[in-house]
């Protein structure tokens, strides 16, 4: 597998950067290589990526997610097989360092060439730049999902309040 790691600093707080990143359906608005993202289940997304006439479809599972900290995923399909992590950490000036680390399995003979890793790194760097422009232009997230995922199991941020056993009307 090829390993790619890219980092960018964005001039928004960690919560804002993280909240926007969890809005997967918005990725096509700022990432040129992402054509469509659908939420298939609580931890599974279906992606269509590509450039020009070349497209690839895959499903990815979020296996770990901790609000304002990190998100870890893995592909569920055989090709392109990959896994990765995006982490969010505060910078001294109140912004956020966003780091993407991916491991991508080479595809065919062309994928085994050393330049394949450089191309993937270039694409990730470019897309992070698009994310920076997008979130800094908005200044705030266009939504959020504040739950956590551990070992592929969802833990919601705010549990449903317990049902009261006391009647809601006055007893007289």
On the question of pLDDT at 78 being above 90, the answer is: no
Query: Nearest CA to 45 among 4, 84, 98?
Result: 84
Backbone angles phi, psi at 76, to 5 degrees: -100, -15
pLDDT of residue 43: 94
On the question of pLDDT at 23 being above 90, the answer is: yes
Confirm if 130 and 32 have CB atoms less than 8 A apart: yes
Q: Write the DSSP symbol of residue 43.
A: S
On the question of pLDDT at 166 being above 50, the answer is: no
Query: Nearest CA to 6 among 92, 99, 109, 103?
Result: 99
Q: Write the DSSP symbol of residue 107.
A: -
On the question of pLDDT at 135 being above 90, the answer is: yes
Structural domains in the chain?
2-153 (3.30.530.20)
Residue range 24-77, pLDDT digits in tens: 999 999 999 999 999 999 899 999 998 888 888 999 999 999 999 999 999 997
Residue range 96-119, pLDDT digits in tens: 999 999 998 866 555 555 555 678
Residue range 136-156, pLDDT digits in tens: 999 988 888 888 999 888 887
- Return d(Cα 146, Cα 136) in angstroms, integer: 21
pLDDT of residue 117: 66
3-class SS at 17? helix
């Amino acid at each position: 597998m090829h390993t790619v790691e890219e980092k960018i600093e964005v001039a928004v707080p960690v919560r804002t950067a993280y909240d926007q990143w969890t809005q997967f359906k918005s990725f096509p608005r700022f990432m040129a290589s992402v054509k469509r993202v659908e939420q298939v289940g609580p931890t599974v997304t279906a992606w269509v990526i590509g450039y020009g006439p070349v497209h690839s479809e895959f499903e990815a599972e979020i296996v770990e997610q901790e609000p304002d900290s990190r998100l870890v995923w893995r592909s569920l399909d055989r090709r392109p097989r990959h896994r990765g992590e995006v982490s969010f950490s505060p910078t001294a000036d109140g912004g956020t360092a966003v780091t993407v680390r991916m491991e991508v399995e080479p595809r065919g003979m062309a994928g085994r060439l050393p330049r394949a890793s450089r191309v993937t790194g270039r694409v990730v760097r470019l897309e992070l730049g698009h994310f920076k422009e997008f979130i800094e232009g908005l200044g705030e997230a266009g939504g959020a999902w504040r739950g956590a995922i551990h070992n592929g199991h969802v833990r919601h941020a705010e549990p449903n309040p317990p049902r009261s056993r006391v009647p809601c009307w006055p007893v007289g």
